[in-house]
Amino acid sequence: MRLNAKRIRRFVRLKDADVRSHLSKCEVDGCEKLARGTKSVHCMRHWNEGEREMNRQICEVKGCERAARGTHSLHCGRHWNEDERRLNLRKCEVEGCENGIQGAKSVHCVRHWNEAERQENVKNCTVEGCSNRARGRHSIHCARHWNRKEREDNKPKCCEVEDCGKRVQGAGSRHCVEHWDETEREANLRICENEGCCNRVRGKDSLHCKQHWTEEERETNAKKCEFQNCSSRPRGVGIHCARHWDEKERAANKNCCAIEGCDKRAWGKDSVHCKRHFTDREVHIYYATCRMPGCEKKKEGKASLHCKRHWNDEERFVNSRI
């Protein structure tokens, strides 16, 4: 039976209406996103524990609880094998750069972002007069201007060992590095394959620590300045050592130590020197005062970098008895 244009339009309207009737919005007040997932009444942002467990495929690496990512992948991005990496990791379009693409609507790695990509992916705090970068999950403020909800969402998890105030580290871990059990250590720490060596594996596509690198691993990971007959390592953003920087590289790496011949990075606020070449004034500012820009109060508390007013959640937890 042939359908005329009028019948086709009616069929399409009925089909769209039927689809819309089965799409429900997230039940959280004020959220207009559609519910997603099997037997779910919330969007992905507001999934409860049951919905998250039902709809998330977990990485197959033992001890890792991160979600599997990518096309035809059974692992999280950290534990991708070679085939998964080839399928899911697009490389930066800059010639000679092998880093993966990062950011929304981007064709470059972070190092080679243009102005449009940087504006798209680097969001600043929405508080008027604040130029700091927005930090945290689902946050539109810097850490200094977090509201109560943002502070709760981004509260650092602490080690489950009693009287240990250190932060949890590692995939699928509930402890700090010091208190890792065997499962957590196997999932998060690769040890050098050289017999009798307990150091951590270093470098790209490497199976050894830096001390026991093979010639091939050394060539892959030890890049040299591209200036003729120069054997120094590249410093900062660029392909040359500090001695052979061109104008663009020098502008990009202007925060380096002001001492001639020193290519280390300048440290601390209002400082133009590395730690080794600090003046007396820079030593006082860096080691004795709060790190918050514009604050000149003394540091307070155990293992703290801020005054009591500007403590972050971790410092507040560690020093809660003070």
Which range scores top for mean pLDDT: 64-68, 110-114, 193-197? 110-114
pTM for this entry = 0.33
**Mapping DSSP to helix (H, G, I), strand (E, B) and coil, where does residue 275 land?**
helix
What pLDDT does 21 receive? 42
Percent of all residues in the chain with a pLDDT value above 70, rounded to a whole number:
84
Higher pLDDT, 210 or 54: 210
The CA–CA distances, whole Å, from 263 to 161, 225, 277, 279, 296 equal 42, 13, 11, 17, 28
> How confident is the model at residue 130, as a pLDDT?
86
Residue 14 has pLDDT above 70, yes or no: no
**93 vs 54 pLDDT, higher one:** 93
pLDDT of residue 19: 44
Is 80 exceeded by the pLDDT of residue 125? yes
Q: What is the pLDDT of residue 28?
A: 87
What pLDDT, on a 0 to 100 scale, did the predictor assign at position 17? 45
Tens-place pLDDT, residues 180-202: 887 777 767 777 888 777 677 88
Q: With bands split at pLDDT 50, 70 and 90, how would you rate the model's confidence at 82?
A: confident
Output the CA torsion 255→224→106→87 (10° steps).
-150
* 312 pLDDT above the threshold of 70: yes
pLDDT for res 162 = 83
Answer yes or no: is pLDDT of 204 > 60.
Answer: yes
Nearest to 241 by CA among 251, 257, 256, 230: 230
Residue 270's pLDDT is: 67
Give mean pLDDT, residues 107-113: 84
Phi, psi (deg, nearest 5) at residue 248: -65, -45
For 250-301, the pLDDT digits (tens) are 777 767 777 776 767 777 666 778 878 888 777 766 777 787 777 878 788 7
Rounded CA separation 44/62 (Å): 25
% helix, strand, coil for the chain, step of 5: 35, 5, 60
Residue 124, beta-bridge partner list: 133
Amino acid 18: pLDDT: 45
Q: Looking at the predicted structure, is the pLDDT value of residue 171 above 70?
A: no
- Of the CA atoms within 13 Å of residue 10, those in its CB half-sphere come to 5
Q: What is the mean pLDDT of the chain?
A: 76
Q: What is the mean pLDDT of residues 44-60?
A: 77
Top-ranked range on mean pLDDT: pick from 11-20, 59-68, 139-148: 139-148
Lowest mean pLDDT among 160-164, 211-215, 281-285: 281-285
- Percent with pLDDT over 90 in the chain: 0
